[in-house]
Structures are given as structure tokens and as C-alpha cells.
């Protein structure tokens, strides 16, 4: 397990005051803040852990460092335990979160990313920790801009990573997006703190890719110029988000059963960018997806709504958009597409389970076994008769031996990974 040398020369270290200014932009925080910090053991996340620990202690709070062991490399477990020892020596709480299951045959990096976020957010939700800090920095932001340019991303994509992202039950914060990598390395140098070397640095193929990306960053004017471009795009994205939030407040009715009703008449004449942003957020929330639908498909839906009414039902991004009965097409209900929903899932007493990527289902502590959460389906007529017809079969329902149970036995909370209208796009 190669270790990085914290004594190597680096730039000027990011100090406590500079870090505090960056955290202030991401607040507010509760008194005695509790933070979770994702720590791989590499130099960036180790530096963030040290900075966040000092910041939290100064305010009567504390952090817990979280290391995800993906079990994709033989040495990953040893590295996670080494991180735990380093942080324990500094009095920093630490937890290792282990990915279970087989190694994916394809899409390993994407699968690892999804598992990582799922474990981190699940740990926070189970313990009531509201803030999860990630160590992405200015060099990461610059590379993200380049990669999205190459992929033909629009304005929203070119804003790259947000400093604040509201997900289900946790705020994901990136306080270091304007900080060069060298200043984080200097934090470790000043503290005499070793770190785990990225194994990709020893892979010749990865090293060649790294050099090509470094050359591309330099050719585009350097990391500072690319990060500045992201900030400009981010300001425009934030403007659209604010307009979309105002539009959503006027046009969207949110139901705890996981669907929304749109007032299409009020959409007519609204700024196109605000309509697109609001509809993208609505569809992602109802479908339980972290990402909005593709632009071309969303544009077709917007065109169908251009007259302030919907003539016939549409399907997009795991959702159905259906004219509401008796509204003359002026109102529409957005519901989950039944064929895209997850299979029923068993519940454990006293534990919260996320079903269909958007519902937190919790069985009461003393509840007997046999509880299952799934779509209402055939029970819709009698169990969810209070809902619009399109929403009844796809509404969530907890059953025992096929019969619905009451709220005293199990509760359901709609907590999608992307809110209909979340926090403004955070810019640093």
C-alpha cells in the first residue's frame, strides 16, 4: 500500500480562516454542527478532513470521516484501515462503509460511484447528519468542464459541479471548488500527514490519460480559466434555477404519494429556460432519478405543452404526463411509469428502507414481520381512492400478506434524490 510523502514541496496551504470563509458561503449550519466528510485517504480528502475537523471543533461540533471500501482492489481494505488509524491519532471519528455484492462486469467506475454515494448518504440519513462534504477542488472542476465540453453539454452542464446539492436527506457540500490542488497538498505538508497514493498513478495507461488531460487543460488556458468559465455558466444556471423555483411555486402541486399536478395554463408565456428547468426537476423527482431527462426529449414535451394544455398522455424519463380529468387539458398529473418501478421490497422493524429510489419506508419498532412496500397496483381502487386515477396504481403502499397496513405500523416519506425545486446552484 504505497503512502504519499507529506514532506514534498507544495504551494501555500489553505488556512483555517480561508476555509471558514468558504464554509460560510455554504451555510447556514446548526449550532454545534455535525458533518460527514468523504475521505478516500488521498491527499485532497485527507486535507479536507483536517480542515473540516478544525472548523467544526471551533464551533462546538464534530465530524465523522467516512471511507468507502468498494472491494474492487485487494488492498482497499488495508487502505481504509490505515486511514482510520491516521484519523484516530488526531481524535477524528471514522467509519468504513463496505460495498456488498459482486464486482460489476461492465461500467465498474459508474457502479462504484453509485454505490459510494448510496453508502455515504445512507449513513448520513440513518444518523441525522445533514451535511456531507466532498473534496472536489479547482483542478477537478476544470477537468469536468473540459469533459463536458467534449460531450457537447449545454449551459447547465458547463457549470460543472455545484458547491451545494440537495439530495434526499442530506446536503452535499463542496467547499474547495476554487482551491488549487497544490494548496491542499500544502495542508498535509504543514501537518506532517501522510496519505494513500492513488493506484491509478502507477498505471501507465492511466498516467498517459492523465498527461493528455493535463495538456488539454493547459491548452484551454489553465485550470483557473476553466474554473472561471464554470462560475460564469453557474451564475446563469443559478438565475434559471431561481426563475424555475418561482414558476414551480405557482404551477406545481406536490403530493406526498409521489406525484405532482401541473397547472399548464400558467406555464404559457413563462420564460422557456425556467419552464425547462422546472419540468426537468419535476420529472426527476417523480421518477426518483438524480439526473434530468435528455434535452431533446424534454424539448418535445415542452412543445406539446406550448398552448397551455395537453391533448394526450405522454411518457418521458420514467414518468407519465396525463391530462387531469375534468380540466380540459389545462392541468396534468405527472406520475411514475409503472413499468419502470422497482419490485416490492421487504421491510425490517425499526429500520428505514429506500424503495424505488424515492420513498423512505419505515416499519414501527415493534412491528411484526411480513411487511412489504410496493406499488398499490390492484389495491388501488380501495386503498388509494383519494388520488387521481393515473396516480392510484403507482402510489406506494405497505402491505402484510397482501393487505394494506396503517400508519401506526409503517410510514412512507417521499424523499427523491432530486427535489422539484432544490437549492440554488452553489457557485464558488
The band of 391, judged by pLDDT with boundaries at 50, 70 and 90, is very high
Nearest residue to 83 via CA among 69, 71, 72: 69
Nearest residue to 225 via CA among 134, 136, 148, 139: 139
Give the C-alpha separation, 161 to 179, whole Å: 14
Nearest residue to 18 via CA among 227, 222, 184: 184
Flag whether 226 is in a domain: no
Flag whether 236 is in a domain: no
If one compares 188 and 215, the residue with the highest pLDDT of the two is: 188
Provide the pLDDT for residue 9.
46
Residue 428, pLDDT above cutoff 80: no
Provide the pLDDT for residue 88.
97
Residue 155, pLDDT above cutoff 90: no
Range(s) of the domain holding residue 410: 343-414
CA 388 to chain centre: 30
CB 402 within 8 A of CB 388: no
Nearest residue to 314 via CA among 332, 289, 296: 332
Same domain, 389 and 260: no
Q: How far is CA 347 from CA 74, 398, 403, 414, in A?
A: 33, 9, 15, 16
Query: What does the block give as the cell for 1?
Result: 500500500
Instruction: Tell me the percentage of the chain whose pLDDT exceeds 70.
Output: 88
Nearest residue to 252 via CA among 275, 271, 228: 275
Provide the pLDDT for residue 157.
78
Same domain, 321 and 208: no
Provide the pLDDT for residue 22.
96
Which of these ranges, 49-58, 291-300, 380-389, has the smallest mean pLDDT? 380-389
CB 261 within 8 A of CB 255: yes
Query: What does the block give as the cell for 287?
Result: 421518477
Query: What does the block give as the cell for 328?
Result: 380540459
Same domain, 348 and 327: no
Flag whether 186 is in a domain: yes
Residue 291, pLDDT above cutoff 90: no
pLDDT tens-digit readout, 55-99: 999 999 999 999 998 777 778 889 999 999 999 999 999 999 987
184 phi and psi angles, rounded to 5 deg: -75, -40
What's the whole-model pTM score? 0.75
Most confident of 71-75, 201-205, 213-217, 243-247: 243-247
Same domain, 16 and 124: yes
What is the DSSP secondary-structure string of 236-276? HHHHHHHHHHHHHHHHEEEETTTEEEEEHHHHTTS-HHHHH
Residue 301, pLDDT above cutoff 70: yes
Residue 208, pLDDT above cutoff 60: no
The total of structural domains in the chain comes to 3
Flag whether 237 is in a domain: no
Report the pLDDT averaged over residues 34-46.
96
pLDDT tens-digit readout, 353-386: 888 988 888 888 777 778 999 998 765 555 567 8
Last residue of a domain, one of 339, 366, 390: 339
Count Cβ atoms below 10 Å from residue 315 Cβ, excluding itself: 14
Coil, strand or helix: which one is 1?
Answer: coil
- The radius of gyration computed from the CA coordinates of the chain, to the nearest angstrom, equals 23
Same domain, 46 and 137: yes
Most confident of 89-103, 119-133, 209-223: 119-133
Residue 44, pLDDT above cutoff 60: yes
What is the DSSP secondary-structure string of 289-325? -SSPPPHHHHHHHHHHTTTS--SS-EEETTEEEEEPT
Same domain, 193 and 49: yes
Give the C-alpha separation, 257 to 190, whole Å: 52
Flag whether 397 is in a domain: yes
Residue 173, pLDDT above cutoff 90: yes
Name the one residue in this structure whose C-alpha cell is 504519499. Answer: 4
pLDDT tens-digit readout, 182-191: 999 999 999 9
Same domain, 211 and 127: yes
If one compares 5 and 175, the residue with the highest pLDDT of the two is: 175
Amino acid at each position: 500500500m504505497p503512502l504519499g510523502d507529506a514532506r514534498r514541496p507544495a504551494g501555500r496551504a489553505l488556512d483555517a480562516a480561508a476555509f471558514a470563509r468558504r464554509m460560510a458561503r455554504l451555510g447556514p449550519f446548526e449550532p454545534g454542527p455535525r458533518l460527514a466528510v468523504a475521505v478516500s485517504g488521498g491527499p485532497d480528502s485527507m486535507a479536507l478532513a483536517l480542515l473540516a475537523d478544525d472548523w467544526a471543533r471551533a464551533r462546538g461540533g464534530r465530524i465523522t470521516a467516512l471511507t468507502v471500501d468498494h472491494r474492487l482492489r485487494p488492498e482497499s481494505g488495508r487502505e481504509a484501515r490505515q486511514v482510520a488509524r491516521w484519523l484516530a491519532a488526531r481524535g477524528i471519528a471514522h467509519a468504513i462503509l463496505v460495498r456488498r455484492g459482486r464486482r460489476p462486469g461492465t461500467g465498474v467506475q459508474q457502479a462504484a460511484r453509485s454505490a459510494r454515494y448510496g453508502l455515504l448518504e445512507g449513513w448520513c440519513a440513518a444518523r441525522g447528519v445533514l451535511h456531507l462534504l466532498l473534496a472536489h477542488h479547482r483542478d477537478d472542476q476544470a477537468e469536468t468542464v473540459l469533459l463536458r465540453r467534449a460531450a457537447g453539454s449545454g449551459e447547465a452542464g458547463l457549470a460543472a459541479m455545484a458547491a451545494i446539492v440537495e439530495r434526499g436527506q442530506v446536503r452535499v457540500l463542496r467547499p474547495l471548488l476554487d482551491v488549487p490542488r497544490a494548496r491542499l497538498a500544502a495542508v498535509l505538508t504543514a501537518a506532517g500527514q501522510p496519505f494513500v497514493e492513488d493506484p491509478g498513478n502507477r498505471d501507465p495507461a492511466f498516467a498517459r490519460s492523465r498527461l493528455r488531460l493535463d495538456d488539454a487543460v493547459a491548452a484551454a488556458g489553465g485550470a483557473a480559466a476553466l474554473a472561471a468559465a464554470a462560475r460564469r455558466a453557474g451564475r446563469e444556471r443559478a438565475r434559471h434555477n431561481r426563475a424555475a423555483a418561482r414558476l414551480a411555486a405557482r404551477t406545481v402541486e406536490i403530493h406526498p404519494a409521489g406525484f405532482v399536478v401541473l397547472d399548464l395554463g400558467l406555464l404559457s408565456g413563462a420564460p422557456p429556460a425556467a419552464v425547462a428547468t422546472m419540468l426537468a426537476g419535476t420529472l426527476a423527482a417523480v421518477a426518483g432519478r438524480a439526473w434530468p431527462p435528455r434535452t431533446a426529449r424534454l424539448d418535445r414535451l415542452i412543445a406539446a405543452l406550448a398552448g397551455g394544455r395537453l391533448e394526450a398522455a405522454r411518457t418521458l424519463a420514467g414518468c407519465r404526463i396525463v391530462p387531469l380529468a375534468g380540466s380540459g387539458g389545462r392541468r396534468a398529473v405527472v406520475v411514475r411509469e409503472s413499468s419502470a418501478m422497482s419490485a416490492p421490497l421487504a421491510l425490517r422493524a425499526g429500520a428505514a428502507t429506500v424503495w424505488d429510489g424515492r420513498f423512505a419506508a419505515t416499519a414501527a419498532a415493534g412491528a411484526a414481520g411480513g411487511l412489504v412496500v410496493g406499488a398499490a397496483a390492484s389495491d388501488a381502487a380501495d386503498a388509494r381512492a383519494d388520488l387521481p386515477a393515473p396516480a392510484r396504481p403507482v402510489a406506494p403502499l405497505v402491505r402484510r400478506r397482501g393487505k394494506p397496513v396503517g400508519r401506526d405500523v409503517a410510514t412512507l416519506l417521499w424523499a427523491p434524490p432530486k427535489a422539484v425545486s432544490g437549492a440554488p446552484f452553489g457557485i464558488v
